[in-house]
Amino acid sequence: MPNKLLKLKAIAIVLTMVCLTACSNADREKNDRLFKAMDEELTNARFYIEAGTASDQMKMQSNLTNPGTRDFTQIWQPKALVVSQLSKEVQQYMEAMKVDIIKGNNNQVVEDVVIKQGRGEKLYAKLLQYKEDVLKIDSNINNEFRSYFTIVDTSFDKVVGTKQFTDTFFTKVSPAAAMAVLSKFQNIVAQRENGIVHFCLKKSSFDFNSCGYVLYDNPIAFLSSSHVRPNEAIEVTAGIGNFSSRAKAVSINGRPIGISPEGNFVATIKASDKAGKHIVPIRINYVNGDLKEAVLVRQLVYYVDSVASKP
């Protein structure tokens, strides 16, 4: 695929970056406000994901005290801890980049920190190495996650080199845009870590004494994309844990949605035609691990680009 098309595809998937050099000062300020809002929301989302991962690690620690789950946990908990350590290392590298960008506090800082120092190229190399290191921890992890463990997307990861990665995401962008890009990749790492740690938890949670899996309260709700064009379709998915039957009802904006054969609740909504931040309220009624009725209410966030939709 031509480099230009790869660049456009990556931009659409990650942030739909705006060419700031062609904008007026007023447009740049408006775009920076949007990027800062996105950065804040992405950071908050990452903290939520990391809290879920920490909770899963604690549950595995608890499984060590259960004679029925101890043996499997002794196999899978070390693998989960390695995943978290590898994730922590690449997260710290990106956080250090953000700190240096903030210190510079001028439009030249992105070129100085990311491009001239070669840290954009190093970051992409670290992200690709992170993927390989995580997948080789266990063949079961590799088989389960390799097909969709992407950094940007499948075609981008296979073809694009480290310099093109830097050109795509960090050339001629403002500090606010660079911060949002880094937050996006931090989110990707957090999501990969969360999925694999939860996979390890599931593997460690079969109780030989009760011949069944230990039940945990893990309500799930997410959007297919957090950054869309006006009126674009967004898929909303919700459920409990690994989409178990404990989810009894889900509503979006107060409207009930049906359950799929896989045990999750899926609906398609249309994005607003107004640029900026938008909220999708989700309510999940489910049965918790104590077999009591419970309710989860979440507000999912997405952003509409200021760029007009394609005809």
**Which of 135-139, 253-257, 282-286 has maximum average pLDDT?**
135-139
| pLDDT tens profile 14-38 | 444 444 444 445 556 667 788 888 8
pLDDT bin (cut points 50, 70, 90) of residue 238 is: confident
Enumerate the H helices of 24-118 as residue ranges: 25-63, 70-104, 109-110
Residue 91: predicted pLDDT = 96
Cα gap 297→283, rounded to integer Å:
5
| pLDDT tens profile 78-122 | 999 999 999 999 999 999 999 999 887 677 888 888 888 999 999
Q: Give the closest residue to 265 by CA, choosing from 311, 200, 219, 210.
A: 219
Q: Which H helix or E strand runs over 270?
A: strand 265-270
Please give the residue that has the higher pLDDT: either 98 or 68. 98
Residue 137: predicted pLDDT = 95
pLDDT bin (cut points 50, 70, 90) of residue 305 is: confident
| pLDDT tens profile 219-233 | 677 787 778 888 888
pLDDT bin (cut points 50, 70, 90) of residue 310 is: very low
| pLDDT tens profile 263-272 | 567 888 898 9
Helix, strand, coil share (%) of the chain residues, nearest 5: 55, 20, 25
Cα gap 38→303, rounded to integer Å:
8
Given the DSSP bridges, would you call strands 212-213 and 247-252 parallel, antiparallel or unpaired?
unpaired
Please give the residue that has the higher pLDDT: either 291 or 107. 107
